Structure 1
Amino acid sequence: MTDILILVHADFCSPGHLAAVLDREHRDFTVLRADQGELDGYDLDRPKAVAIMGGPMSVNDPLPWIGEEIAALRHFIARDVPLIGHCLGGQLLARALGAAVHRMPYTEIGWQPLEKRAQASDNPWLAHLPREFSIYQWHSDTFDLPEGAQWLMDSPWCPNQGFSWGDKLLALQGHPEMTEELVRSWLTDWGHLLDETQASQQSKTRMLTDLPAKVADLNQVAEGFYRRWLDLAFG
């Protein structure tokens, strides 16, 4: 057991670049499959930092482990543990804070442009970011903003792209953790789900064009988030 906990919900939604950052900094971490009941019996008072990754399911699906994970997240929130949620992870944090999660009329997929909201320009989670940047997206659900949250950024297809709550919680709608390998594997294994007639989705060709450069830029976006998350936990 380690001081860093990463919750995952599918084998193809791995920690990605987050794991690379932790390995580079020689920080041990524990990965648990919340969807397979691996939170059962886990000491919720142990971790000093928690990351919640994505997954293909909806927070609204009638799966018993979802309620159990939300209860665990509420415990971490009460403990004031630094938390960072990615896509489904962000939606789970929103639900843990009492906000609704609902289906969009379309699916947002690809390298989507995001913009920092002017009211959040001084938020420390965003200090490393320019006004406009991109994050990889693949989601059909979105969260409402919990009471007391600060709305951080938006995109043309999904306004609620991220929020902070208190000084130690960041919920993101996108996937800053993506690597070249993850993008290619998603587009190989799940490419049949793409619908290029939807303006909210990029084509496979467009997503793969200049992929190394796009991922390198995304790594810089992600590392700013992860640096603050780790600094909050370990100083």
Structure 2
Amino acid sequence: MTHILILTHTDYCTPGHLGKVLDEAQHDFSVLRVDLGELDGFDLDRPKAVAIMGGPMSVNDTLPWLDTEIAALRHFIRRDIPMIGHCLGGQLLAKALGAEISRMSYTESGWQSVHQATESAPSPWLAHLPAQFPIFQWHGDTFALPVGAQRLLSNSWCENQAFAWGDKILAVQGHPEMNEELVRLWLNDWSHLLDDSQPSQQSKAQMLEELPGKVAALNQVAEGFYRHWLQLAFA
């Protein structure tokens, strides 16, 4: 039986490096396209761990399937199972926990540096990370911190880059799941949405510069998150 559930919302935001990590660890997993109704009728008591990926839509859009997904996330929260949210997925977790999601006045995109929040106690989610490191970004919305959440990461463009809630939930505003294929796909199909005259955005050339090395470093960031997530699920 598959005990890991991955929720996706578009062809463009796949599990990416998370899928590779799970395959190498020989963990079976199910991927559902929530926007296509694939979550409807799914046994929400089945998963032991859930990952929520990104998407171009806003949590605040009027889409019936968003309500279905938020209700499912609240069920998982009540079950106290490990969850990790990526960009839109992090915003969905924040919404499920009662926090507001708001539009920023600019888009943050590219390889942006984030730092561990100095006001927060050490977190096992960040034990593998230095005080400051880059992560791939592409978002125009941001989440507020839910009541009881611990801010983990921040930067000058987005104060709330990641939070932990309880022992088993991590929400990340960036995209730790990116691999080379996904970066090139996004830049081939979505680069017209970029405006590198804005200081919060990088150009396509900047994003692709030394890409293998950047992705390899990001994979290390992601693998620490995923190791802890899996340890919580299968300890």
Normalised by the size of structure 1, how large is the TM-score? 0.99
Show the 5 A alignment for 1:212-227. 212-227=212-227
Deviation at 1:119, TM superposition (A): 2.8
**Counterpart in the other structure of 1:202:** 202
Show the 5 A alignment for 1:1-235. 2-120=2-120, 122-235=122-235
Q: Write the deviation string for residues 125-179 of structure 1: whole angstroms up to 9, x where unpaired.
A: 0000000001100000000000000000101211100000000000000000000
Structure 1 runs of 4+ aligned residues shifted over 6 Å read: none
Deviation at 1:121, TM superposition (A): 5.0
- Distance in 1 (CA, whole Å) between partners of 2:121 and 2:100 is 25
Deviation at 1:120, TM superposition (A): 2.8
- Distance in 1 (CA, whole Å) between partners of 2:19 and 2:66 is 23
Q: What's the Cα RMSD here?
A: 0.7
Give the counterpart letter for 2:173 in structure 1.
Answer: Q
What is the DSSP-based 3-state SS (H/G/I as helix, E as strand, rest coil) of the residue aligned with 1:105? Answer: strand
Q: Write the deviation string for residues 2-25 of structure 1: whole angstroms up to 9, x where unpaired.
A: 100000000110000000000000
User: CA contact under 8 A between 1:113 and 1:156: conserved in structure 2?
Assistant: no
Deviation at 1:65, TM superposition (A): 0.3
Question: Identity of counterpart residues, as a percentage?
Answer: 69
- Distance in 1 (CA, whole Å) between partners of 2:21 and 2:146 is 29
What is the DSSP-based 3-state SS (H/G/I as helix, E as strand, rest coil) of the residue aligned with 2:171? Answer: strand
- Distance in 1 (CA, whole Å) between partners of 2:41 and 2:70 is 15
Give the counterpart letter for 1:184 in structure 2.
Answer: R
Q: Which stretch of structure 1 is more off in the superposition, 121-130 or 132-141?
A: 121-130
- Distance in 1 (CA, whole Å) between partners of 2:199 and 2:147 is 31
Give unpaired runs (5+ residues) of structure 2.
Answer: none
Q: Matched residue pairs, number?
A: 235
